[in-house]
Amino acid sequence: MLKFEPSHALKRLPEQFFAKLVKTTQALIKEGHDVINLGQGNPDLPTPDFIVEALQEASTNPKFHKYSPFQGYPFLKEAVADFYQREYQVDIDPNKEVAIMFGSKTGLVEISQCLLNPKEKVLVPDPGYPDYMSGIALTDAIPIHMPLKEENQFLPNYQQISDEDLADAKLMFLNYPNNPTAATATKNFFDDTIEVAKQNQICVVHDFAYGAIGFEEDKPQSFLQSEGAKEVGIEMYTLSKTFNMAGWRVAFAVGNPSVIEAIELIQDHYYVSIFGAIQSAAKTALDEGKSAIAELNHTYQQRRDAFLQQAEKIGWHGGTANGSFFVWMPTPKGYNSESFANLLLEKAHVVVAPGNGFGASGEGYVRIGLLDEPDRLREACDRIGKLSLF
């Protein structure tokens, strides 16, 4: 048997930090333990019925059994523009300012290939969603980490980035509500970001995966709500979290037409667009999903409150949970992210994600996914409380 060497690009890909965690969790479950898994980001609830029914109906339409138009159906792009107008009062041209994508993970990886050349610099949040780094590695670009610190409400501090790095950077990833810190961004922060981006000619990619899930403010801020945003960037939005559609793989990018054009160009070469019936059901979700979004927020708010109240009771303080379906909790004295996560796994059978897996600045924290019922979240806290760490 010949063994073929993977390309240099593949060899540059970062190790999948969480693969080990998934394996250990599976092993414990297989041994028959009652594991409370709060370690991953996979929504536990089903897609609302009205969307599933829309897919069932659309799947019988022979039109959708053919190849879809390469860049997606215009009806979905129009639904995206209507959604942004209704939800955020943002004008989007469905012909030039929307790209349909196979989930936002794909978009977030391919955007680096779209805009970066080898050895060019890109600003990335630390801690941050690991897949930004995958696209950067495939492109052989240079990541410049922007630490997200508690004292800055987990927003990057542009004053602390060197003038040289700002001048060199071509791309910047941002993500609010944030995975993993559960922080949200203000309009002021996005306004400042646009200034920095204009001055330095940086393309901003705002990952709005958790756009539908916010607690402290009325509603999470879209980057495109800030004046001038479209001049300097795009926002990526996924249906995975908003409508519990992670398995369906539907997302879109909206904003700067030149970036949208680049995404569509690369996708013309990689794929034919998503199954038409899924695009049709995605339109139904966007058009008719208002009450489903409100219900989703209510569900996560109840879970968040249940977790935080019980955490307080066991003396575990200092969590952040303003948006997304995560809580970002500090580790107790004497433990780092990994040793604490391992302890919880072994002694409490509770799975949490160690913060350092999202970047060096995530050290000292763990990420809790609010992906189980309130009773189970309380039980997780009680099990942790029995370890007498706080």
Q: Is 251 in the site for ligand PLP (CB under 6 A)?
A: yes
For 103, half-sphere exposure in the C-beta direction (CA atoms, 13 angstrom radius) is: 12
Let me know how long the chain is: 390
For helices 276-288 and 49-58, give the axis angle rounded to 10 degrees.
150
108 vs 384 by CB, closer to ligand PLP: 108
By the 8 A CB rule, do 365 and 331 touch? yes
Min separation Cβ 91 and ligand PLP, Å: 24
- Examine residue 39 and tell whether it contacts ligand PLP (CB under 6 A): no
Tell me how many helices (H) and strands (E) the chain has.
15, 12
Question: Considering only residues 103, 214, 355, 359, which one is a binding residue for ligand PLP as defined by CB under 6 A?
Answer: 103
**E-strand stretches of the chain:** 36-37, 98-101, 121-126, 142-147, 169-175, 203-207, 233-238, 251-255, 326-330, 350-351, 353-354, 365-369
Q: Does 22 bind ligand PLP (CB under 6 A)?
A: no
* Residue 47 is a binding residue for ligand PLP (CB under 6 A): no
Q: Let me know: does 47 contact 243? Beta carbons within 8 Å.
A: yes
Q: Which of 22, 246 has the CB closer to ligand PLP?
A: 246
Selection from 357, 298, 351, 303 nearest residue 326 by Cα? 303
> Applying CB under 6 A, does 244 fall inside the site for ligand PLP?
no
* Residue 370 contacts ligand PLP per CB under 6 A: no
Instruction: State which residue, 274 or 277, has the beta carbon closest to ligand PLP.
Output: 274
Give the Cα separation of 184 and 325 in Å (integer).
12
Kindly tell me which of 29 and 246 has the beta carbon lying closer to ligand PLP. 246
By CB under 6 A, name the one of 39, 41, 72, 354 that touches ligand PLP. 41
- For 363, other C-beta atoms within 10 Å of its C-beta total 16
The 8-class DSSP code of residue 90 comes to -
Q: Which lies closer to ligand PLP via its Cβ, residue 207 or residue 264? A: 207
Distance from chain centroid for Cα 136 = 16
Of 200 and 337, which has the nearer Cβ to ligand PLP?
A: 337
Please select the residue that binds ligand PLP; options are 240, 256, 320, 331, rule is CB under 6 A: 240
3-state percent helix, strand, coil for the chain, nearest multiple of 5: 50, 15, 35
Residue whose CB is less far from ligand PLP, 251 or 262: 251
Closer residue to ligand PLP, CB minimum distance, 18 or 335 = 18
Instruction: Give the shortest CB-246-to-ligand PLP separation in angstroms.
Output: 5
Stretch that binds ligand PLP, among 46-54, 104-112, 117-125, 155-163 (CB under 6 A): 104-112
Helix H or strand E segment including 338 = helix 337-343
Measured from the CB atom, the residue of 213 and 389 that comes closer to ligand PLP is 213
> What phi-psi label fits residue 93: left (phi over 0), alpha (psi between -120 and 50 degrees) or beta?
beta
- Cβ distance to ligand PLP smaller for residue 58 or 245: 245
Residues 291-330 that bind ligand PLP (CB under 6 A): none
Q: Indicate which single residue of 87, 207, 235, 264 sits in contact with ligand PLP (rule: CB under 6 A).
A: 207
Q: Is residue 176 involved in binding ligand PLP (CB under 6 A)?
A: no
Query: Total residues contacting ligand PLP (rule CB under 6 A)?
Result: 14
Q: What residues does 173 pair with on adjacent strands? A: 205
> Shortest distance, CB of residue 309 to ligand PLP, whole angstroms?
25
* 233-238 and 36-37 beta bridge pairing: unpaired
Residue 42: how many other CB atoms lie within 10 Å: 13
Residue 209 interacts with ligand PLP (CB under 6 A): yes or no: yes
Q: Is 129 in the site for ligand PLP (CB under 6 A)?
A: yes
Contact status: 179 vs ligand PLP (CB under 6 A): yes
Interface with ligand PLP includes 105 (CB under 6 A)?
yes
CB contact at 8 A, 113 and 266 = yes
CB of 102 to ligand PLP, least distance (A): 8
For ligand PLP, the binding residues (CB under 6 A) are 41, 103-105, 108, 129, 175, 179, 207, 209, 238, 240, 246, 251
